[in-house]
Amino acid sequence: MSITLKTPMNMQQAMHGSPMLAQLMRMAEETRACMAVIRPLLPAALRGAVRPGPMQDGTWCLLIAHTAAAAKLRQLAPALLAALRAKGHEVQTLRFKVQPPPDSKIQEKTRWP
């Protein structure tokens, strides 16, 4: 029995060989770019409560740490959308999903046994 070792690939090679991986990388880059546009518009106290989520068909989902932050962001949505469009991003709708960060104590308290 012989063992064949494959040579490791760098990220560029992997993306070239996999259209699905290339699409995921483009989506990640798009959400990163959109986050860079809106971050300066967010109140300083809320910046840590907002994480970029998936973008699909012109709707960008933002993951928000708690409901109070989500309520404030809903008020800011028109300004955030205007800034995104001004920078050439094709975001038509913002969706806010309350999802505590994975290391959050809030999430631990709300888990079922």
Calpha distance 49→47 (Å, rounded): 5
pLDDT for the residue 89: 94
pLDDT for the residue 51: 94
Tell me the per-residue pLDDT of 86-108, one tens digit each, with 9 for 90 and over: 999 999 999 999 998 777 665 44
pLDDT for the residue 15: 62
Task: Tokens for 5, please give them.
Answer: 């070792």
Calpha distance 107→91 (Å, rounded): 29
Domains recognised in the chain with CATH numbers: 13-102 (3.30.300.180)
pLDDT for the residue 112: 47
Residues written for the chain: 113
Residues of the chain with pLDDT under 50: 107-108, 111-113
